[in-house]
Amino acid sequence: MIVAIDGPSGAGKSTVAKAVAKELGFSCLDTGAMYRSIAWRALQDGVALDDEEGLGAIARTYDIAFGHVEGDPVPRRVFIGDDEVTDAIRTAEIDRAVSPVSAVPAVRAALLDQQRRIGNAGNYVVEGRDIGTVVFPDAAVKVFLTASDEERAHRRVRQNVDRGIGSIDYEEVLADLRRRDEADASRETAPLRAAEDAVQMDSTGRYIEEVIEDICALAREAQS
């Protein structure tokens, strides 16, 4: 069974997906980490972010894997090839690089195969931007999670402070979120949008526990 959670950057998808997976006993797949890993590899290799052929070659060459702690459905480590990039992909530099990378059709095609192979291996909560529309269009549960620009920016700043990674300048983070929203929604390949049959949830001003419980209720209903 697949629970698909889509939405813009900073809407809380990752936090919610991990909690839902734990509550349901599912595994969790963060597709955004996969695109971030390709962006990291490109920057390390000096591949230009507008070099579609070079970016596609990276995505076809490297497998992206997730490290788990026994008994925990939520992955704790991210690898591209032999390199662990768990922290390296959560920087402001990668925040800016991931949109042009994820817009490349060859990158999306290569990662689509990896995402489906992982997700089809069991019960998964999968979060991203095109999960319910492209990756798993037949997902049993589809949620499009949003929040106001301002709330998403405040959340991202708090997250960056807690991790000690990324910008903690509110105006910079807000501008980056809006820039990424525009890039994700306007790209030709798999643009960010809600699936027609997705349940739309706005988490602005809501306790995260409420959102988690709402999604778990949808999943339990789909299982019954």
**Tens-digit pLDDT profile for residues 114-126:** 999 999 888 999 9
Confidence of residue 56 (pLDDT cuts 50, 70, 90): very high
CB 144 within 8 A of CB 131: no
**Among 106, 85, 82, residue whose Cα is nearest residue 40:** 85
Q: What topology is assigned to 2-213 in CATH?
A: Rossmann fold (3.40.50)
- Helices then strands, counting H and E runs in the chain, come out as 8, 8
The token pair at 124 is 């998964």
Domain regions of the chain by residue span: 2-213
Asked if pLDDT for residue 21 goes beyond 80, the answer is yes
Work out the burial of residue 102: count CB atoms within 10 Å of its CB; fewer than 13 is exposed, 13-18 middle, 19 or more buried. buried
Confidence of residue 59 (pLDDT cuts 50, 70, 90): very high
Confidence (pLDDT) at 100: 92
Q: How many other β-carbons are positioned within 10 Å of the β-carbon of residue 2?
A: 25
Confidence of residue 187 (pLDDT cuts 50, 70, 90): confident
More confident: 37 or 183: 37
- If you average pLDDT over residues 88-116, what whole number do you get? 92
Residue type, 93: E
**Tens-digit pLDDT profile for residues 128-183:** 889 999 999 999 999 999 999 999 999 989 988 887 877 888 999 999 899 888 88
Asked if pLDDT for residue 92 goes beyond 90, the answer is no
- Mean pLDDT value across the chain: 92
Q: What share of the chain is helix, strand, coil (3-state, %, to 5)?
A: 55, 15, 30
- If you average pLDDT over residues 2-12, what whole number do you get? 92
- Residues composing the chain: 224
Q: How many degrees, rounded to 5, is the angle at CA 148 between CA 1 and CA 96?
A: 80
CB 59 within 8 A of CB 110: yes
Confidence (pLDDT) at 174: 93
Q: How many other β-carbons are positioned within 10 Å of the β-carbon of residue 123?
A: 17
Asked if pLDDT for residue 185 goes beyond 90, the answer is no
Confidence (pLDDT) at 99: 87
Residue type, 13: K
Confidence (pLDDT) at 73: 73
CB 126 within 8 A of CB 31: yes
Q: How many other β-carbons are positioned within 10 Å of the β-carbon of residue 172?
A: 14
Instruction: Name the percent of the chain lying above pLDDT 70.
Output: 100
Confidence of residue 192 (pLDDT cuts 50, 70, 90): confident
Task: Fill in the DSSP letter of residue 2.
Answer: E
Residue appearing with tokens 């789909």? 222
